[in-house]
Amino acid sequence: AQSVAQPEDQVNVAEGNPLTVKCTYSVSGNPYLFWYVQYPNRGLQFLLKYITGDNLVKGSYGFEAEFNKSQTSFHLKKPSALVSDSALYFCAVGSGNNAGNMLTFGGGTRLMVKP
């Protein structure tokens, strides 16, 4: 079985400050890790993924994420937050053991960026 934990329901940050949204995972086998963003009344948009290789992954809108195998974490980061980054963020995990590339999603973290 695979699982994802996003320990913070909400993260508050001031515009221009760095932001981190936390994610830890549990999976048997090598993990495939994803971050998605959801704006109000919209579906999820793919931000970035880690499959293999460099532990620091860069994605859309200036976001990046760091894979840490020993801590089973995949935290989302951005050096300088924008008000427009305010949204709901989901971490997801899959593995090579899954038929059909099934993903398990975390409960989501709401990011609030204040001017």
Among 14, 51, 56, 112, binds other proteins (CB under 8 A): 51
* Distance in Å, CB of 3 to other proteins, minimum: 11
Give dist(CA 83, CA 87) in Å, integer: 9
When asked if residue 95 is in the footprint of other proteins (CB under 8 A), the reply is: yes
Residue 93 touches other proteins, criterion: CB under 8 A: no
Q: Beta strands of 1-115 (E only): which ranges? A: 3-5, 10-14, 19-21, 24-26, 31-38, 44-50, 56-58, 64-68, 73-78, 87-95, 104-105, 109-114
One of 46, 62, 69, 114 touching other proteins (CB under 8 A): 46
54 binds other proteins (CB under 8 A): no
